[in-house]
Amino acid sequence: MHEHRWTRLSRHPTSEGILGYLLCPCGAREIELVPLAPPVLLASRSAPTRR
């Protein structure tokens, strides 16, 4: 077994993330999925609580 030296053949944005097709000189192929990052809350407003 050897360490693969992947070359990216193509990349495609999908609803699940970025799909990539890779090829090694030995002929092995791989498909990778880089998931989209979850949404991040940048700011939040809340009313002060009354006691």
pLDDT the model gives residue 23: 97
pLDDT the model gives residue 38: 79
The answer to whether position 14 is within a domain reads yes
Residues 6+ apart with CB under 8 A from 34: 17, 18, 20
pLDDT the model gives residue 27: 95
- pTM as predicted: 0.64
Task: Give per-residue pLDDT as tens, 16-46.
Answer: 899 999 999 999 999 999 998 877 777 766 6
The answer to whether position 12 is within a domain reads yes
pLDDT of residue 12 exceeding 90: yes
The answer to whether position 40 is within a domain reads no
Instruction: Look at the chain and report how many structural domains it folds into.
Output: 1
> Distance between CA atoms of 32 and 44, rounded to whole angstroms?
35
Domain with 29 in it: 1-35
Q: At 47, is the pLDDT very low, low, confident or very high (cuts 50, 70, 90)?
A: low
Give backbone dihedrals phi and psi of 12, rounded to 5 degrees, phi first: -140, 125
The answer to whether position 45 is within a domain reads no
Handedness of CA 5, 24, 17, 38 (dihedral sign): negative
